[in-house]
């Protein structure tokens, strides 16, 4: 961590900072504030009763047949003591009164603040017919992962609804348990809305290569079962037997508790590049819930991933303290599937595919995307850290794709 700026009187800053959300964006914000020398009161409200833990392992290590299935902690009790932070668990926020500067939690307690950081993340979407049915899971928190892992066993039948990253990561983990996996995707090609048809098809092909069945262009009509799921009826008339159903159809920013607050909520909380909420001084948003103006794309962008939440924490802390704001990072997403690390830099959906090397099947796929002016806006890389770094630099510097391709080694 960097040293505090000696010209700033953070040691005598007596403001009360309230952080709503105890995942990576909230926890890292607290750490950044303390690292910068802030000595004011900090309170963190966590909706879950678990001690703060890291989210990426939920769909990765926690499901692995080789792992322990335990959450990876973000903080220990010693960390909380050293940070001198009041951590309140099982304290879900239900109302915000920005005029009074008060957040109310579901137990009726009122929490006053001088500065508010909203880091409530996103909530998984579910299927209406799956509510209350045993064996039907979303995968958004540690309890989800623990329960799901307990149901994985050789020969069981799992249906995954949605071929996005969460669904694909579960499918890969389940195949390692020798579970019979069928992935059901509504779109004709998985991830085409993010990566285009060609690359989406390549990644979708990983399922078949590793023994899972991929069904595309079909939706889930209903889940069958009285108390426990027994089958999944599809829109094309087929019925899939199922011991387990995992719903991976995306998430929604956790903003329902802000209804009536007046905050600008539109697919997340609208905020400035500094992450201060538009029109609300001393209120900030960070992580999956934030929709800030992006420095590279010139328009609001909401990103759901760990690295974005981590980057937001440093930016929020600097904005609160009035210290030099760190340069925003490029969007970066990774997904571990079938022994491959799929990494995405920038926003490929903002452009068209202009270059490919290798393949997903051989584990060396590289894909670059450019906007109408030919400037790179994003890239996908499987493995290959050096190539990932090249792509990152090229997108950050707005390099033309022709120049980028000239600098690459000749294709073998």
> pLDDT-based confidence at 52, cuts 50/70/90?
very high
- Count the residues in the chain: 412
- Strand 110-112 relative to strand 102-105, pairing: antiparallel
Rounded Cα distance, 221 and 161, in Å:
11
Q: Where are the alpha helices (DSSP H) in 139-189?
A: 142-149, 165-176
Question: Tell me: the pLDDT tens digits for 136-163?
Answer: 999 999 999 999 999 999 999 999 999 9
- The CATH classification of domain 126-249, taken from the options 3.50.50.60, 3.90.79.10, 3.40.50.970, 3.40.718.10: 3.50.50.60
Instruction: Please state, in angstroms and rounded to a whole number, the distance separating the CA atoms of residues 120 and 146.
Output: 21
Choice among 23-27, 56-60, 325-329 with the minimum mean pLDDT: 325-329
Question: What is the DSSP code (8-state) at residue 53?
Answer: B
Confidence category of residue 84, pLDDT binned at 50, 70, 90: very high
Q: Stretch 25-53: mean pLDDT, rounded?
A: 97
Given a cut of 80, whether residue 412 has pLDDT beyond it is no
Alpha-carbon gap, residue 30 to 51, rounded angstroms: 15
Q: Are 260 and 94 in contact (CB under 8 A)?
A: no
Confidence of residue 7 (pLDDT cuts 50, 70, 90): very low
pLDDT > 60? residue 1: no
Q: Compute the distance between CA of residue 133 and CA of residue 229 in angstroms, rounded to an integer.
A: 6
Q: Looking at 131-135, 154-158, 163-167, 182-186, which range is the least confident one? A: 131-135
Tell me, yes or no, if the two domains 10-123+252-321 and 126-249 fold the same way.
yes
Contact yes or no for 309/315 (Cβ under 8 A): no
pLDDT band at 325 (very low <50, low <70, confident <90, very high): confident
- DSSP, collapsed to helix, strand or coil, labels residue 357 as strand
Across the range 303-320, mean pLDDT stands at: 94
Q: What is the pLDDT of residue 308?
A: 92
Residue 13: predicted pLDDT: 85
- Residue 11 pLDDT: 66
pLDDT at 296: 75
> Which own/partner contact pairs does 8-15 have at CB distance under 8 Å and 24+ positions apart?
8/36, 8/37, 8/321, 8/322, 8/323, 10/36, 10/37, 10/38, 10/39, 10/321, 11/37, 11/39, 12/39, 13/38, 13/39, 13/40, 13/321, 14/40, 14/41, 15/40, 15/41, 15/114, 15/115
Report helix, strand or coil for 364: coil
Residue 170 scores a pLDDT above 90: yes
- Look at residue 210 in the predicted model and tell me its pLDDT: 98
- 11-20, 242-251, 294-303, 367-376: least confident range: 294-303
Instruction: Report, as an integer, the average pLDDT of 385-410.
Output: 93
User: Cβ neighbours of residue 26 under 8 Å, at least 6 residues apart?
Assistant: 19, 20, 44, 46, 52, 117, 119, 286, 287, 313
- Distance (Å, rounded) from C-alpha 218 to C-alpha 131? 21
Res 295 pLDDT > 80: no
Cβ–Cβ < 8 Å for 362, 390: no
Instruction: Name the least confident of 43-47, 291-295, 302-306.
Output: 291-295
Q: Identify the CA nearest to 352 among candidates 221, 194, 130, 132.
A: 194
Which contacts of 265-273 are long-range, i.e. CB under 8 A and separated by 24 or more positions? 266/291, 267/291, 267/302, 268/302, 269/118, 270/300, 273/328
Query: Percent of the chain scored above 70 by pLDDT?
Result: 97
Average pLDDT over residues 204-227: 97
CA distance 306 to 299: 21
**CATH T-level topology, domain 10-123+252-321:** FAD/NAD(P)-binding domain (3.50.50)
pLDDT at residue 10 greater than cutoff 80: no
Average pLDDT on 182-196 reads 97
How far is residue 262's CA from residue 52's CA, in Å, rounded to a whole number? 29
Rounded to 5 degrees, φ, ψ at 39 are -115, 5
Per CATH, the homologous superfamily of domain 339-406 is FAD/NAD-linked reductase, C-terminal dimerisation domain (3.30.390.30)
- Residue 105, CA distances (Å) to 18, 95, 209 in order: 12, 7, 48
Please state which of the ranges 85-94, 125-134, 312-321, 378-387 shows the lowest mean pLDDT. 125-134
In this model, does residue 2 exceed pLDDT 50?
Answer: no
Q: In the structure encoding, which two tokens stand for residue 405, read together? A: 């391709």
Where does the pLDDT of residue 166 fall: very low under 50, low under 70, confident under 90, or very high at 90 and above? Answer: very high
Average pLDDT over the chain reads 93
> Domain extents for the chain?
10-123+252-321, 126-249, 339-406
Look at residue 65 in the predicted model and tell me its pLDDT. 83
Integer Cα distance of 353 and 377 in angstroms: 10
């Amino acid at each position: 961590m960097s040293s505090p700026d000696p010209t700033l009187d953070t040691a005598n800053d007596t403001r009360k900072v309230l952080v709503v959300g105890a995942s990576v964006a909230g926890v890292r914000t607290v750490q950044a504030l303390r690292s910068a020398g802030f000595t004011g009161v900090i309170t963190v409200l966590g909706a879950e009763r678990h001690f703060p833990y890291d989210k990426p392992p939920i769909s990765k290590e926690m499901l692995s047949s080789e792992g322990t299935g335990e959450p990876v902690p973000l903080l220990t009790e010693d960390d909380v003591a050293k940070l001198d932070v009041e951590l309140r668990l099982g304290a879900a926020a239900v109302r915000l009164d920005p005029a009074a500067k008060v957040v109310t939690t579901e137990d009726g307690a009122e929490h006053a603040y001088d500065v508010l950081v909203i880091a409530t993340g996103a909530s998984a979407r579910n299927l209406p017919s799956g509510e209350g049915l045993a064996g039907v899971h979303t995968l958004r928190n540690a309890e989800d992962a623990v329960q799901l892992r307990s149901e994985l066993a050789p020969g069981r039948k799992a249906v995954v609804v949605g071929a996005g990253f969460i669904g694909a990561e579960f499918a890969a983990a389940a195949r390692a348990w020798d579970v019979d996996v069928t992935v059901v995707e509504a779109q004709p090609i998985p991830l085409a809305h993010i990566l285009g048809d060609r690359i989406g098809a390549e990644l979708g092909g990983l399922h078949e290569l590793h023994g899972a069945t991929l069904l595309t262009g079909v939706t889930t009509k209903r889940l069958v079962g009285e108390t426990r799921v027994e089958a999944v009826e599809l829109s094309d008339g087929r019925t899939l037997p199922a011991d387990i159903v995992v719903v991976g159809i995306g998430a929604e920013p956790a903003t329902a508790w802000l209804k009536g607050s007046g905050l600008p909520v539109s697919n997340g909380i609208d905020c400035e590049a500094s992450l201060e909420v538009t029109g609300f001084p001393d209120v900030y948003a960070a992580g999956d819930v934030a929709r800030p103006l992006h420095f590279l794309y010139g328009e609001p962008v909401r990103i759901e991933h760990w690295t974005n939440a981590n980057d937001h924490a440093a930016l929020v802390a600097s904005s609160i303290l009035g210290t030099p704001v760190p340069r925003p990072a490029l969007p970066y997403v990774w997904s571990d599937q079938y022994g491959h690390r799929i990494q995405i830099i920038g926003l490929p959906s903002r452009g068209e595919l202009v270059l490919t090397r290798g393949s997903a099947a051989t584990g060396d796929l590289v894909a670059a995307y450019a906007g109408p002016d030919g400037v790179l806006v994003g890239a996908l890389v499987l493995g290959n850290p050096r190539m990932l770094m090249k792509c990152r630099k090229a997108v950050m510097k707005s390099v033309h794709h022709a120049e980028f391709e000239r600098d690459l080694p000749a294709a073998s």
